[in-house]
């Protein structure tokens, strides 16, 4: 008998409540985390007590890239630091990136107001269609997750903007204009970063096809809302995952929560106000033939402060094939990944839980098996 046939009306009602999201669940004040959100013990975060506060175990200072230095005599050194960061951590932080403080602050602030709208307004955008231009939801993959995450989200396709903007929320009334400005400026920042990344791989001006495709490429903005949680040590805001794209540009408010897997340990990234956290996605790992690493990361929640983050995932157009750059392949460096496309990725994630590095692992070529 399938579990759904065993479900009592009470269980069905409970599940419906969880599908409505964490913000809705917290509306009436909660003192305990419902069992739906309790992760198995080995997956739970480790908190320690310091300064009389319960804190995540260890903080990590990611390499900081001063973007302005790329336009001066230190450019070669900055490029080396970026290459090392992408090889070692799969992550770096960028300061002096050129985006006005108002643009990012307005984005965080209008997203906060979006999540404060009545549930009926937010839920207009709920859909199970993974390719919808706007998608509101909760957890990680709410139709598949057995244990839920303490997170609600709004996903917006953002490039080409004129194709998608007419679908974006009209409430709050300034949402579209502020989020569109943010999307455009993030896209420009991504384009600058592509040049820098190709130069750090020493193939700038050589793989023009890839550079052009990335310029025309896809952009998905994921707004994450993590309400305060009464028992943060029992749950996660986001499970361990890697991002599918080429690069992710992550804007966070001043509340920490992002953790990355570094030398088999979960370490918390110290937020730097006004900075961007940039991470290598699966497509860049494939494109660089494994030199740059798409690293697992997850999100912790806390008991006092709500947290908002905006991840902008940039990559090739949805119709492109992603493969190791021909410029990085030779006899001694055979391709280590199979070609992949977006349709395959979507098929993969809708057929199983996209946790851990499943998708990327499925694209790896094991040369030991090829004779």
State in angstroms the smallest separation of the CB of 212 from Fe ion: 26
**8 Å CB contact between 311 and 247:** no
Nearest CA to 96 among 214, 234, 192?
192
Q: DSSP secondary structure string, 84-150?
A: HHHHHTSEEEEES-S--HHHHHHHHHHHHHHHTS-HHHHGGGB-S-TT-SEEEEETTTTTT-SSPPS
Q: Report the nearest approach of ligand AKG to the CB of residue 80 (Å).
A: 26
Quick one: 24 or 262, whose CB is closer to Fe ion?
262
Question: Applying CB under 5 A, which residues contact Fe ion?
Answer: 243
Please report the sign of the dihedral spanned by the C-alpha atoms of residue 122, residue 128, residue 133, residue 138: positive
Here's the x/- map for ligand AKG, 201-230, by CB under 6 A: it reads as ---------------------x-x------
Q: What b/e readout covers 63-81, taking b as 16+ CB neighbours within 10 angstroms?
A: eebebeebeeeeeeebbeb
Q: Phi then psi for 149, rounded to 5 degrees?
A: -100, 155
Number of residues that bind ligand AKG (CB under 6 A): 12
- 25 vs 299, beta carbon nearer ligand AKG: 299
Q: Which is nearer to ligand AKG, 133 or 239 (CB)?
A: 239
Least Å distance, CB 311 to Fe ion, is 6
- Pick the stretch among 53-61, 69-77, 168-176, 251-259 that binds ligand AKG (CB under 6 A): 251-259
Binding positions for ligand AKG, 262-301, rule CB under 6 A: 297, 299
Cα R_g (the chain), whole angstroms: 21
- Nearest-approach distance from CB 255 to ligand AKG, in angstroms: 9
258 binds ligand AKG (CB under 6 A): yes
| Backbone phi and psi for residue 254, each to the nearest 5 degrees, phi listed first | -85, 10
Contacted entry of Fe ion, ligand AKG, none for residue 197, CB cut-off 5 to 8 Å set by kind: none
DSSP-derived secondary structure for 282-327: HHHHHHTTTSS----EEE---SS--EEEEEEEEES-TTPEE---GG
Question: What is the spatial distance between Cα 347 and Cα 339, in angstroms, rounded to a whole number?
Answer: 15
Q: Which is nearer to ligand AKG, 275 or 309 (CB)?
A: 309
Pick between residue 241 and residue 336 the one whose CB is nearest to ligand AKG.
241
Cβ proximity to Fe ion: between 91 and 164 the closer is: 91
Residue among 290, 314, 237, 289 at smallest CA distance from 268: 237
Cβ closer to ligand AKG: 243 or 285? 243
Q: Does 243 bind ligand AKG (CB under 6 A)?
A: yes
* Residue 311 touches ligand AKG, criterion: CB under 6 A: yes
In angstroms, give the least distance from the CB of 238 to ligand AKG: 6
Provide the 3-class DSSP secondary structure of residue 45.
coil
Q: Which of 138, 309, 320, 325 binds ligand AKG (CB under 6 A)?
A: 309
Binders in 109-148 for ligand AKG, by CB under 6 A: none
**97 is a site residue for ligand AKG (CB under 6 A):** no
d(CA 144, CA 241): 15
User: Would you count residue 252 as binding ligand AKG (CB under 6 A)?
Assistant: yes
**CA pseudo-torsion sign 278, 261, 309, 169:** positive
Cα 333 to Cα 262: distance, rounded to the nearest angstrom: 26
Q: How far is the CB of 250 from ligand AKG (least distance, A)?
A: 6
Partner from Fe ion, ligand AKG, none contacting 93, C-beta within 5 to 8 A by type: none
* Contact positions vs ligand AKG (CB under 6 A): 222, 224, 238, 243, 250, 252, 257-258, 297, 299, 309, 311
């Amino acid at each position: 008998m399938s579990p759904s046939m065993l479900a009592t009306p009470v269980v069905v009602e409970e599940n419906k409540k969880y599908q409505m999201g964490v913000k809705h669940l917290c509306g009436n004040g909660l003192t305990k985390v419902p069992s739906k959100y309790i992760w198995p013990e080995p997956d739970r975060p480790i908190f320690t007590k310091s300064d009389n506060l319960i804190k995540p175990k260890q903080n990590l200072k990611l390499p900081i890239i001063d973007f302005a230095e790329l336009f001066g005599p230190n450019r070669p050194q900055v490029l080396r630091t970026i290459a090392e960061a992408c090889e070692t951590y799969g992550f770096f932080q960028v300061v002096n990136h050129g985006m006005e403080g108002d643009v990012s602050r307005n984005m965080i602030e209008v997203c906060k107001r979006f999540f404060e709208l009545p549930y009926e307004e937010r839920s207009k955008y709920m859909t199970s269609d993974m390719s919808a231009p706007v998608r509101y939801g909760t957890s990680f993959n709410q139709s598949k997750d057995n244990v839920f995450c303490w997170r609600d989200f709004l996903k917006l396709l953002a490039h080409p903007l004129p194709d998608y903007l007419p679908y974006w929320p009209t409430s709050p009334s300034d949402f579209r204009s502020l989020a569109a400005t943010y999307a455009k400026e993030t896209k420009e920042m991504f384009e600058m970063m592509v040049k820098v990344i190709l130069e750090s791989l020493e193939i700038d001006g050589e793989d023009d096809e890839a550079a052009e495709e990335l310029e025309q490429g896809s952009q998905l903005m994921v707004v994450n809302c993590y309400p305060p949680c009464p028992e943060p040590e029992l749950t996660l805001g986001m499970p361990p995952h890697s991002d599918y794209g080429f690069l992710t540009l992550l804007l966070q408010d001043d509340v920490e929560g992002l953790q990355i897997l570094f030398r088999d340990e979960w370490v918390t990234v110290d937020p730097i106000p006004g900075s961007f956290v940039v991470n290598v996605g699966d497509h860049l790992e494939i494109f660089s033939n494994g030199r740059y690493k798409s690293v697992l990361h997850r999100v912790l929640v806390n008991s006092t402060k709500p947290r908002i983050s905006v991840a902008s995932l940039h990559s090739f157009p949805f119709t492109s094939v992603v493969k190791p750059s021909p410029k990085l392949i030779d006899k001694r460096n055979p391709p280590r990944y199979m070609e992949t496309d977006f349709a395959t990725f979507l098929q993969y994630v809708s057929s199983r839980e996209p946790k851990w590095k499943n998708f990327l692992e499925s694209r790896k070529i094991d040369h030991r098996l090829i004779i």
